[in-house]
Amino acid sequence: MSKINIKYLAKELNLSISTVSRALRDSHEISGETKKRVFDLAKRLNYQPNSNASGLRGQKTKMIAVVIPDMVNDFFSLVISGIEKVTQEKGYHILLHFTHGDHELEVSFINTLASGRVDGVLLSMSSEDNDSHHLAELNSSGIPLVLFDRVSECVSNVKVTSDNHESSVLATHHLIEAGCKKIAYLQVHKNIPVGKVRMNGYLEALQQYSAQKVPLVLECTNDNDETFELIQKMLVAEKPDGVFASVEKLAVVCYRVCEKMRLKIPDDIKIISFSNLHTAALLNPSLTTITQPAFDIGETAAKELFNIINKKNRTLAGDNNNVVLQSRLIKRRSTARY
Amino acid sequence: MSKINIKYLAKELNLSISTVSRALRDSHEISGETKKRVFDLAKRLNYQPNSNASGLRGQKTKMIAVVIPDMVNDFFSLVISGIEKVTQEKGYHILLHFTHGDHELEVSFINTLASGRVDGVLLSMSSEDNDSHHLAELNSSGIPLVLFDRVSECVSNVKVTSDNHESSVLATHHLIEAGCKKIAYLQVHKNIPVGKVRMNGYLEALQQYSAQKVPLVLECTNDNDETFELIQKMLVAEKPDGVFASVEKLAVVCYRVCEKMRLKIPDDIKIISFSNLHTAALLNPSLTTITQPAFDIGETAAKELFNIINKKNRTLAGDNNNVVLQSRLIKRRSTARY
DNA sequence: TTTATTTACGGAAACGTTTGCGTGAAAAGA
DNA sequence: TCTTTTCACGCAAACGTTTCCGTAAATAAA
């Protein structure tokens, strides 16, 4: 066992525990000479402060929790990379937790965090949104919380999102301009704000720009095989000439369905999707995407969180506590005119 | 601030602190009636034990560290998902850390961990391998360590890997069977075992199955643009008819180069790659891959770690402490015969 | 010179748990 | 009835820090 603690250093140097502690924290109360002795020995013995002890005493754990649904798509991987860039700079660590879209898991984990395990929380919510009671409780525990992407309307915390509504309008408009007369919308997460907002963008764009009077919305599930069947049935029954996938994996499944049904993309059907797939350009055909600034979202959310942790209340967000970042529409072959 | 601690519960119930603590841990020393009173109040007040305090006292943090190079490919995302499945079951949490292939970062982080921040460590090493001194130190600190994928030969810890050598031979053989007369090998990480092992597989397969007497190895870098140039120059100069990418991202870059050079895959050149890309089947053309059991690797490594943490020394590994899982060669169009 | 201030350090409490030990009362055994 | 065991609980120490306080000595101000 590693027995090199402050007490040991103190004994070794004929100093008191408090002096060593202060020296290590570079306190002005300690003479330069003493500090140097302490630093040197600490380095020589590879002293590492016990984080539980300092966390217990000082309420500073040097850790933030990142709570996300899962990591099945490239979006969250990029977000985490962005978060990590910031935590790395700040000397912080990431406590990672997946909710798997299970609201109960989210609640129980958030509750766990309220006990002071971390200095702050970054959260992208699970599917259900009606109940944000646990977030209120976390807030009242005094632990800073920043939401990103899948946010809740019920709390007033800082939120970092992307311009889902405009992007969704833009995407739908792009399909219409490409000649689509009947556009299907593949949806999942209809209960969380981001899901609603994206669909509203689709609906509005139809009303505004298209002759298509009746929207075509397909509710998909979290099970890929099931979704495959659903999409196939829909394509057979409705024969849309455009598909707007609200999340990446639906586009992937849709590609598979089209392959099976021998539908030519983009000749028979055009596809656009919200996606951070880094292979989008290499797909067959290359996939037109609305690409969220995932890395930026993570980086921004982390910075906002540290602003709160460090009590600099200057936030990038305005009074409404919202930071909205721009997505990009990247046109590729899957929506080419012919 | 959340002030609901054991002391508060004790006062509220007219019990001593120790009794409450024991009741919460379901000790046999406490009567059923008292336990119930404690449980009920704890639940009602949403009591959450302070992890720093219990970590400090009992040396149990309910956290394991996962140290990986980064998350730019699907492999590590899947590994983490596998790990998370196990930690979820065990009620553990994941402390995530990226080394970005920087050996110094790895060392300093591992050192940090030696102070008891976590109950165990899962590590996939950064590029440099000559120095595993920090691992020895971690071992001597008594914190269980399991290595996976990018392992070191210098330590005797449990290691979970996949059959890189056989897979590499198989991949090369597959290209040869597909008719390739001149196969290039795209490599990075030449300093870590997994890199060496994979290349040896390529070299051996050439000797054994091919008329190609001189291997064609291209050293790539971590910078994609640089790698793009390198590959392009190599393709122009050497005109290979087959490419074996030792890691996923090299295959992706190679696809881009071929697109730019208007080389037809698989007609002009065939490509195979180690990869966990879930869109491999949808690429243009679909990419033949050696797919590692990434999720299994994560799951297995985590299970091995918990075996050690819980002192059940029954390991899946044999005496040599190695668990080797099978990869799969998935044949797709990028290596089709014509 | 005397007094006030600063400097540099030590003592000890506190953070919230866990756990070895002690103990009175009840139950069991003699 | 008396002794022994079991039961159910309380006391207090310990984990490694941080920090409030106190205090000698050194320095500055009077």
Chain A nearest-CA distance from B320, in A, is: 25
pLDDT band for position B317 (cuts 50, 70, 90): low
B71 touches chain A (CB under 8 A): yes
Kindly tell me if the per-residue pLDDT of B338 is higher than 70.
no
User: pLDDT tens for residues B80-92?
Assistant: 999 999 999 999 9
Select from A52, A55, A252 the Cβ nearest to the Cβ of B282: A252
Question: With 90 as the cut, is the pLDDT of residue B73 above it?
Answer: no
Range scoring the smallest mean pLDDT among A3-7, A312-316, B69-73? A312-316
Where residue A319 falls among pLDDT bands split at 50, 70, 90?
Answer: low
Quick one: pLDDT at residue A318?
56
Q: Which residues contact B293 (CB under 8 A, 6 or more apart)?
A: B162, B325, B326, B327, B328
B285 touches chain A (CB under 8 A): yes
Nucleotide nearest to B7 (CA to C1'): C16
- The per-residue pLDDT for range B139-153, each reduced to its tens digit, is 988 899 999 999 888
Bridge pairing between strands B242-245 and A145-148: unpaired
Say how far apart CA B189 and CA B245 lie, in whole Å.
12
**Residue B314 clears pLDDT 80, i.e. is over it:** no
CA of B143 to C1' of C12 (A): 32
Number of residue pairs across A and B with CB atoms under 8 Å? Answer: 135
Q: Which of B88, B93, B279 sits opposite A277 (nearest CB)?
A: B279
Per-residue pLDDT tens over the stretch B151-196: 888 888 999 999 999 999 999 999 999 999 999 999 988 878 889 9
Measured in angstroms, the CA of A95 and the nearest CA of chain B are apart by 5
Looking at residue B310, its pLDDT comes to 86
Mark yes or no for CB contact A252/B93 under 8 Å: no
Per-residue buried b or exposed e for B287-314, using 16+ beta carbons within 10 Å of the residue's own CB: bbbbbbbbbbbbbbbbbbbbbbbeeeee
Q: How many angstroms is C1' of D8 away from CA of B11?
A: 18
User: What confidence tens digit (pLDDT) does each residue in B264-304 have?
Assistant: 999 999 999 999 998 999 998 999 999 999 999 999 999 99
| pLDDT at residue A311 in the model | 75
| Confidence tier at A314 by pLDDT (50, 70, 90) | low
Beta carbons of B271 and B332 less than 8 angstroms apart: no
How confident is the model at residue B132, as a pLDDT? 83
Please name the residues between 132 and 191 in chain A that touch chain B, using a CB distance below 8 Å.
137, 140-142
On whether any CB of chain B is under 8 Å from the CB of A24, the answer is no
**Mean pLDDT value across chain A:** 92
pLDDT band, very low/low/confident/very high, at A244 (cuts 50, 70, 90): very high
If one compares B85 and B59, the residue with the highest pLDDT of the two is B85
**Average pLDDT, rounded, for chain B:** 92
Under an 8 A CB cutoff, do B137 and A46 touch? yes
Query: Mean of the pLDDT values across residues B308-335?
Result: 82
Residue B286 backbone zone (phi > 0: left; psi -120 to 50: alpha; other: beta): beta
Residue range B212-239: average pLDDT? Answer: 95
Interface residues for strand D (CB within 7 Å) are A 3, 5-7, 17-18, 21-22, 24-25, 47, 49-50, 53-54, 56-58; B 14-19, 22, 29-31, 33-34, 53, 56-57, 115
Are the C-beta atoms of residues B304 and B297 closer than 8 Å to each other?
A: no
Do residue A80 and residue B71 have CB atoms under 8 angstroms apart?
yes
Would you state the structure tokens that stand for residue B174, as one six-digit string?
């597959």
Tell me which residue has tokens 């949490």: B93
Nearest to A278 by CA among B221, B276, B252: B252
pLDDT value at position B199?
96
Test B96 with A88 for CB contact under 8 angstroms.
no
Mean pLDDT of A246-254: 94
pLDDT at B316 over 80: no
d(CA A57, CA A49): 12
From A175, A166, A169, A65, select the one nearest A121 (Cα to Cα): A65
Q: Is B297 in a helix, a strand, or coil? A: helix
Contact (CB<8Å) A284/B284 = yes
Which of A42-46, A59-63, A185-189, B274-278 has the weakest average pLDDT?
A59-63
Residue B337 is predicted with a pLDDT of 85
Q: For residue B22, which nucleotide's C1' is closest to its Cα? A: C18
Among A161-165, B79-83, B130-134, the minimum mean pLDDT is found in B130-134
pLDDT score of A47 more than 60:
yes
Q: What is the pLDDT of residue A153?
A: 82
Q: Is residue B249 over pLDDT 60? A: yes
Q: Which residue of A has its CA nearest to B49?
A: A115
The partner residue sitting opposite B112, judged by closest CB among A48, A112, A278, is: A48
* Residue A26 burial class via C-beta count within 10 angstroms: exposed 0-12, middle 13-18, buried 19 and up: exposed
Residue A1 has pLDDT above 60, yes or no: no
pLDDT reading at B104 higher than 60: yes
Specify the pLDDT at position B99.
Answer: 94
What's the whole-number mean pLDDT along residues B129-146?
A: 86
Give the type of residue at B157: N
pLDDT in tens, A264-286: 999 999 999 999 998 999 998 99
The pLDDT score that the predictor gives to residue B246 is 96
A-chain CB neighbours of B94 within 8 Å are 95-97
Parallel, antiparallel or unpaired: strands B183-187 and B328-330: unpaired
Through-space separation of residue A31 CA and nucleotide C1 C1' in angstroms: 30
Which DSSP helix (H) or strand (E) runs through B121?
A: strand B120-123
Q: B318: which 2 tokens?
A: 């044999």
Interval B311-332 mean pLDDT: 80
C-alpha angle B158-B163-B165 in degrees, rounded to nearest 5:
120
Q: Where are the beta strands (DSSP E) in A108-241?
A: 120-123, 145-148, 158-162, 183-187, 216-219
B contact residues 264-283, partner A, Cβ 8 Å cutoff:
277-279, 281-283
* Arithmetic mean of pLDDT, A155-168: 94
pLDDT at A142 (0 to 100): 86
Contacts of B61 in chain A (CB under 8 A): 52
pLDDT of residue A313: 58
Instruction: For residue A304, give both structure tokens.
Output: 């906002």
What is the separation of C-alpha B122 from the centre of its chain, rounded to a whole number of angstroms? 8
pLDDT on residue A200: 96
**Which strands sit side by side in the sheet containing B216-219, from one edge to the other?**
B216-219, B183-187, B242-245, B270-274, B288-291, B328-330
Comparing alpha-carbon positions, the chain B residue that sits nearest to A98 is B84
B77 interaction partners in chain A (CB closer than 8 Å): 71-72, 77
Residue B231 is predicted with a pLDDT of 97
Q: How far apart are CA B296 and CA B277, in angstroms?
A: 16
| Domains of chain B, first to last | 6-49 (no CATH), 61-162+294-325 (3.40.50.2300), 164-292+328-335 (3.40.50.2300)
How many residues can be counted in chain A?
338
